[in-house]
Amino acid sequence: MKLHEYQAKQVFADAGIPTPDSQLASDVDGVLEAAGDVGYPVAIKAQVQVGGRGKAGGIELVENDEEAREAADRILGMDLKGIRVERVLVEEAVDFTNELYVGVTMDRGEGKPVAMVSTKGGVNIEEVAAEDPDAIAREHVDPSFGMHPYQARKAVFDAGVDRSVATDVASVLSTLYDLWDARDGADAEINPLMVTADDEVVAADAVMNIDEDALFRQPEIAEMGEEAAAGDDLEAKADEYGFDYVRLDGSVGIIGNGAGLVMTTLDLVDYYGGSPANFLDVGGGAKAERIANALDMVFSDDNVDSVVFNIFGGITRGDEVAKGINEALEQFDEIPKPVVVRLAGTNWEEGMEILNEELVTVEQTLEDAVQRSVEYAEEVDA
Amino acid sequence: MSVLVDEETRVVVQGITGGEGKFHAGQMIEYGTNVVAGAVPGKGGQEVHGVPVYDTVDEAVREENADASVIFVPPAFAGDAIFEALDTDLDLAVAITEGIPTQDMARVNKRLSETDTRLIGPNCPGIITPGEAKLGILPGNIFAEGDVGLVSRSGTLTYQVVDNLTNRGIGQTTAIGIGGDPIIGTDFVDALSAFEDDPDTKAIVMCGEIGGEDEEEAARYIDEHVDTPVVGFIAGRTAPPGKRMGHAGAIVSGSGTGTAESKIEALNDAGVSVGDTPEEVADSVEDLL
């Protein structure tokens, strides 16, 4: 779960990382008031969860009320890569001499946290990592001890950070690691960490991604997440139901259990000449109600012309799945879209006995089920 | 005929009194697995399916001589349950739980490096040697005894591929679901090495998916160390770049690594034939045997 910049900055500031003065605003008057409080020049920054905001026109530097009004007019309500800008952060403009990058993430290959520092801040750090990997100093951390202060210093000196600010940067990195650790971070980044003319460091941006599996022990962050949620209505509905769901642009709705099997079903729909409308993983051990919710989700997508259910039970039981499908479909006088079901694995025979075959098409193999669902979708298109 | 587990394996089930633990302990016993104990704090002295329950794994190991554990403990407590298993000199711990926080697994990973215990999972279906023992949630009825070793990052995809094999009379030595989380115990390379050392395994099927670089690493290992023929499958060819498909392992970085293309290419370069569908995987295996 990704926090908005203003939320991440608040979390960083509370932990003692220097951040610029800033205020959130949602209309032009609010921007002018905030700018007056913070003092010109200010940066007006769109608060939406997309990369490359600056390039897309979502960040402007302004010197006075007139410029602020114009910029606020432009940015508030604009469409930034598909998301409407509802709020901006009005922030003190930092007069900097240098831009650094500091970050903490999990190195899945090593199975360990890694802290990173680079003097090539202020740019797309993924590009730096791809083109000039040596420009980023990396320090792996033993998660059972946390980051030792010497490791933060080592990373900072290895990166070639100027001695005049090295201690301050090391302190920011240490604090960032501790935050990442305490808050169950997935990624925590400051890019850029600006160095001012009088050798102070300031976090001019803030990224905080939280491990969703750990939200149960991060109640304050989870609360922020409710505010951060944005985007597609269907995806919001999927969040509510707790599904892993991705909307795609095809016509065959796909429901299955387990990410690998659902992805394979998508690949097979494509292989047999159809196009997937979505990825929907009901997860492990789904009960009848969850299955019914999944059908509701997929029926809610107007692009869907047919639905294929691919359930291979392990921890999930075929009879529960069948019950859910029946319950969901029996509410309709007429089934909105043809549904093809393939059940295998745990309790599949019990499931097949329960399944109301007047409501669905049953196929024994994955290949047959996918081909049938593609045919149904083609019939609608024809 | 087997890798890592067999009919002698003495299993303790952590979380045996919970809904899933109880159901699947029953299924394991029915399959013939030698389940000797359960371990649930505060439930010591009870019996589940005729198996004695102890308060700690340590006690279960001491009293019943268990040498493997299967963990059905909710995510908030599962990291601790794995630590408990690792502290008792078991040969094998299988963690079924999905949704364990990654930082907990990083700490587990550190402890794992200090012990001789092998961990499978978490977020995995477990391991099965058909006809002998299953440790986990895999549906036993779809497996058959035979010559093929199978390793997979995805549980349900494992079942699908096994079903395609078994339906045409191709059985398995052992199938290992290694799990799809970012940090796991046993990885492709560990499983490939175990199958390579098993004289009864005549062919290996390896099922991967987009995200991470484990398949690319496995391809390098196959190229250098594996003589047993390997057939591959990669899920997620149609996944759009930048979208997250289910568990955290399945992220397309968009930077050229971790994509289905890069994995398939790496495997092909190592001499592995990669099927477009589970049926094609079975075709290739049939040709090999």
Q: Residues B71-128: pLDDT tens digits?
A: 999 999 999 999 999 999 899 999 999 999 999 999 999 999 999 999 999 999 999 9
Tell whether A234 lies on the interface with B, counting CB pairs under 8 A. no
Residue B254 predicted with pLDDT over 50 = no
Name the residue facing A213 among B100, B160, B237 (closest C-beta): B100
* Minimum-distance CB partner of A270 among B163, B238, B246: B238
Binding-site positions of B for substrate: 159
Using CA coordinates, name the residue in chain B closest to A145.
B107
Tokens for A31, please give them: 């921007």
Interface test with B, best of A312, A321, A342, A366 (most B CBs within 10 A): A312
**Is B157's CB within 8 Å of A112's CB?**
no
CB pair distance less than 8 Å for A259 and B180 = yes
Read off the pLDDT band of B251 (50, 70, 90). very low
pLDDT 10s digits, A53-101: 888 889 999 999 999 999 999 999 998 877 889 999 999 998 999 999 9
In the predicted model, what is the mean pLDDT of residues B227-246? 83
Q: Which of A5, A60, A139, A189 is catalytic?
A: A189
In this predicted structure, what is the pLDDT of residue B253? 40
Say yes or no to pLDDT of B247 above 60. no
Percentage of chain A surpassing pLDDT 70?
98
**Which one, of A5, A143, A272, lies nearest residue B79 by Cα?**
A143
Whether residue B252 is predicted with pLDDT greater than 70 in this model: the reply is no
* pLDDT tens-digit series, residues B177-193: 999 898 999 999 999 99
Are A130 and B109 in contact (CB < 8 Å)?
no
Distance between CA atoms of residues B164 and B161, nearest Å: 5
CB atoms within 10 A of CB A129: 17
Q: Could you say which of B75, B103, B277 has the minimum Cβ distance to residue A271?
A: B277
Range list of β-strands (E), B107-220: 118-120, 126-129, 133-136, 145-152, 172-177, 203-209
pLDDT at B245 over 70: no
**pLDDT at residue B248 in the model:** 39
Q: What are the catalytic residues of B?
A: 247
Flag if A144 and B111 touch (Cβ within 8 Å). yes
- Residue B71 corresponds to which tokens in the numbers above? 């963990």
Helix/strand/coil (H, E, C) string of A297-357? HHHCCCCCCEEEEEEEECCCCHHHHHHHHHHHHHCCCCCCCCEEEEEEECCHHHHHHHCCC
What is the nearest CA distance from A219 to chain B, expressed in angstroms? Answer: 14
The arithmetic mean of pLDDT across residues B262-268, rounded, is: 95
Contact A283 B111 (CB under 8 A): no
Prediction pTM value: 0.91
Residue A234 is inside which H or E element, if any? helix A233-241
Q: Tally C-beta pairs within 8 A across A and B.
A: 169
Smallest CA-to-CA distance from A6 within A93, A20, A15, A322 is with A20
Q: Over its length of 382 residues, how does chain A's per-residue pLDDT go in tens digits?
A: 889 999 999 999 999 999 999 999 999 999 999 999 999 999 999 998 877 788 888 999 999 999 999 999 999 999 887 788 999 999 999 899 999 999 999 988 889 999 999 999 887 787 788 788 888 999 999 999 999 999 999 999 999 999 999 999 999 999 999 999 999 999 999 999 999 999 999 999 999 999 989 999 999 998 887 665 555 677 778 878 888 888 888 999 999 998 899 999 999 999 999 999 999 999 877 888 899 999 999 999 999 999 999 999 877 889 999 999 999 899 888 899 999 999 998 889 999 999 999 999 999 999 999 999 999 999 987 6
Q: Do A260 and B277 touch (CB under 8 A)?
A: no
B201 vs chain A: nearest CA distance in angstroms? 25
Instruction: Point out the annotated binding site of A for ATP.
Output: 45, 52-54, 91, 94, 99
- Nearest-Cα distance to chain B for A284, in Å, is 8
Q: What is the pLDDT of residue A339?
A: 96
Check: complex ipTM more than 0.90: no
Binned at pLDDT 50, 70 and 90, residue B249 comes out as very low
- Output the known binding site of A for substrate: 257, 314-316
Burial category of B114 from C-beta neighbours within 10 Å (exposed 0-12, middle 13-18, buried 19 and up): exposed
A239 in B contact zone (CB under 8 Å): no
Beta strands in chain B (DSSP E): 11-14, 35-39, 47-48, 51-54, 68-71, 92-95, 118-120, 126-129, 133-136, 145-152, 172-177, 203-209, 230-235, 273-275
Q: Do A268 and B277 touch (CB under 8 A)?
A: yes
Whether A232 and chain B come into contact, CB under 8 Å, resolves to no
